Amino acid sequence: MPPTRAGKRLLNWASMLDDNTLDQARETASMPFIHPHVALMPDAHSGKGSAVGTVIPTLGAVIPAAVGVDIGCGMIGVRTGFTADDVAGNSASLSDLRAAIEVAVPLSPGNYNGHLERFDFTAGKIAELEAKAASDQVNLAHSPKWREQLGSLGGGNHFIELCLDETDHVWLFLHSGSRGVGNKIAQKHIAIAQKLCEKWWITLPNRDLAYLPEGTDEFWRYIRDLNWAQRFAFLNRAEMMDRFGTVFAQWMGTENHREVKRINTHHNYTRKEQHAGKDVWLTRKGAVDAHEGVKGIIPGSMGTRSYVVVGLGSASGLCSAPHGAGRRFSRTEAKRRFTQDDLRQRMAGIEYRDSADFIDEIPDAYKPVEQVMEDARDLVSIEHELRQILNVKGT
């Protein structure tokens, strides 16, 4: 849908929007260094400091809490050469595959890899991150086990899925970010920004909109740490996908998973881009890059469709698009409204771990992804529509 002007320097693409989310977006748009405007994506919902689903272009400053604590969180999808018939013809069950995935990938927020020698492809990613930390002078003393975090999923709405597209080709699909090490980096710099704004007597509409001015040592230390965490998140997804592909191939009784194409995208990050004639620091907090021709992934909620998309390069949308369905209800409210039986009904026909722990992830707790995609029709075009046949949730 075309955007509506929702306030000074604020454009909105969301047809489903609560007052708190709108208030947060207006606070963000009120910051003096916004250029040219804040873009509120179709999946926008309230978050910490600034709304999730907000695209924030800034001149000469970055807001660490707007980037968020899961730096580099995003999606990776791999289209394989297998089809639904290949899966259906496999004598092994989908529950066997789910069990193998859960062995290969640590699931819970605090659960790390016990060792890093199981897969040959892990060492190269760790070596790259070690070299980047050394060259960029990134101090990781706060996270001595960051290596063990590589290749782990985390909790909340992070997931791994086996999907089929509109032509019944098999996709491997997962959602995760920079894990505990990214959280530590974010919290460190959020605190620094807040202390500096207090020191300089800067009045903020919200303490979590504290910023770091470009040109200060604190700004550039954050950018170096941020870039490292974004790379960690990218490689973390790649590591889990490599593991997923390995166990899927073993489950299929073949030597490889016949990868046709791979898309690996962030949806919580900051980078330098040009918009409205100026170089800005563009923060996508719950949004994907939708420059013209750029491939992206917009997942639905547990039990609903997901989409592989192509950016349309919308200038007013800051070349961005939604990152998912977007929550309608908080986790507490979802657990109050829905039951485990409700979740079972919504997950009929999908292999998943039947647990009351996931009630707050029921599709009804999210916006209808079909409406989100309708709202985003001027931002992206749909290349593939995916439906899951297996789901693994972070615990």
Annotated binding-site residue numbers: 70, 157-161, 175, 267-268, 299-302, 306, 323-326, 393
> Of 257, 266, 323, 384, which residue is the catalytic one?
323
Q: Are 209 and 49 in contact (CB under 8 A)?
A: yes
In the residue annotation, 323 being an active-site residue is answered as yes
Compute CA 20 distance to the chain's CA centroid, rounded to the nearest angstrom. 22
Q: At what angle do helices 122-135 and 217-252 cross, to 10 degrees?
A: 180
Map the chain to HEC letters: CCCEEEECCEEECCCCCCHHHHHHHHHHHCCCCECCCEEEEEEEECCCCCCEEEEEEECCEECHHHHCCCCCCEEEEEEEEEEHHHHHCCCCCHHHHHHHHHHHCCCCCCCCCCCCCCCCCHHHHHHHHHHHHHHCCCCCCCCCCHHHHCCCCCCCCCEEEEEECCCCEEEEEEEECCHHHHHHHHHHHHHHHHHHHHHCCCCCCCHHHCCEECCCHHHHHHHHHHHHHHHHHHHHHHHHHHHHHHHHHHHHCCCCCCEEEEEEEECEEEEEEEECCEEEEEEEECEEECCCCCEEEECCCCCCCEEEEEECCCCCCCCEEECCCCECCCHHHHHHHCCHHHHHHHCCCCECCCCHHHHHHCHHHECCHHHHHHHCCCCEEEEEEEEEEEEEECC
Q: CA angle, 385 as apex, 380 and 387 as ends, to 5°?
A: 145
Annotated binding-site ranges for GMP: 157-161, 267-268, 299-302, 306, 323-326, 393
Q: Hey, CA dihedral for 77, 82, 88, 91, is it positive or negative? A: negative
| Cα–Cα distance, 392 to 161 (Å, whole number) | 6
Contacts of 313 (CB under 8 A, 6+ apart): 290, 291, 292, 293, 319
Task: Indicate which residues carry an active-site annotation.
Answer: 323
